[in-house]
Structure 1
């Protein structure tokens, strides 16, 4: 049984890649063979040879220090900075679940832990032509439990609760919440943390500040979260 977690969020640009990098680094620094995976990544730039480079993967690799080859991290890479379904409509090469699952399995065969990052928020169309693939279809295909990343500031109660309700309605297992851009001692953000836990019934497993270089969760706790057989 492979071990890992799928990192999704309440929306785009709320820090999923940053949080994912810290999670990968935590396991890597603990001596665990850890890999990164993102099925579809948009808004990428080309290198001097014209090859598209998955920017999120480059960032995670730099922050975490893992040696995983870049070309194993993201099977679908698009240049246009839009949702994957539209990027593939513009550029071609639409996502195939079978390809995603095959690439993911290859990584699982080589690494002990795989931390996966989603595209955008949870309601993200990955493909919408003759086939319809939503982000939850990717999560189910990979067979992973999830973590939700949210911004700690104003409006997060609404976005966290709506995200949780959507995910529960679609049969996705949520292991906990992570609040990003958190300011310890801020009255509103501390209350947001309490209310998110109270209204969702889920634990806030970590609060991360803007310039943090580590995530405040123990190695053992993170391993349990990544183990599908463990009770949290």
Structure 2
């Protein structure tokens, strides 16, 4: 069975997929057997034959250079660019926890490491009408340790502190923070880093600038040590 790591974030569009891709790439480039998984993915385009392209999964696959099939990366793929629970309602394909658990366990049996990416922030509803499934329920059910991706810029302190407090209340272990869109030497971003560490007690594990192909401050071996 694999060792696993969940990538959550302070919200949507802060770069979780890019960071997840970086983690997969760094481990893969170091010769480790690593896979990617995301329970539900919305806002996807269609192929000419009408089937949906799991965009986040395709990005990770191509960016990291892994051979894993797209089909094994995500059991629920939606077209509408809305929260998964709403996309599932519109498209008539509700997320079921049993399917998430089954597909994840199948992947876990085949690989040494699995990077699991969340949809939106940690409170994102994944299912509502058939089964009420919050993202936190998936993290808990799959027994996943987490790292938090945060934008390095203005407003990040509030998002980081609130996400940490919520996950701590729910008993979801956090290993640390990764700052995305980081500009080394920027006074505000350097202070954001220091304040987030002080106010949460979590370490900033590394920083990522636009276009980086590795996480500054972390080796592949150090990344692998975060997985449980």
Interval containing the TM-score (normalised by the shorter chain):
over 0.9
- Counterpart position of 1:221: 222
**Number of equivalences:** 227
Match of 1:50, SS?
coil
Q: How does 1:1-232 map to 2 (within 5 A)?
A: 1-216=1-216, 217-226=218-227, 228=228
Between the aligned partners of 2:118 and 2:48, the Cα distance in structure 1 is: 28
Match of 1:121, SS?
coil
Between the aligned partners of 1:225 and 1:21, the Cα distance in structure 2 is: 16
> How large is the Cα RMSD of the aligned pairs?
0.8
Match of 1:86, SS?
helix
In structure 1, the gaps of 5 or more residues are: none
CA shift for structure 1 position 21: 0.2
Contact 2:96 2:131 in 1 (8 A): no
Between the aligned partners of 1:142 and 1:43, the Cα distance in structure 2 is: 25
Match of 2:50, SS?
coil
Moved over 4 A (4+): none
Q: Scaled by the length of structure 2, what TM-score is found?
A: 0.98
Between the aligned partners of 1:14 and 1:8, the Cα distance in structure 2 is: 10
Between the aligned partners of 2:39 and 2:145, the Cα distance in structure 1 is: 16
In structure 2, the gaps of 5 or more residues are: none
Match of 2:68, SS?
coil
Between the aligned partners of 2:220 and 2:46, the Cα distance in structure 1 is: 36
CA shift for structure 1 position 130: 4.0
Between the aligned partners of 2:2 and 2:200, the Cα distance in structure 1 is: 27
Q: Scaled by the length of structure 1, what TM-score is found?
A: 0.96
Match of 1:116, SS?
strand
CA shift for structure 1 position 24: 0.2
Between the aligned partners of 2:143 and 2:25, the Cα distance in structure 1 is: 22
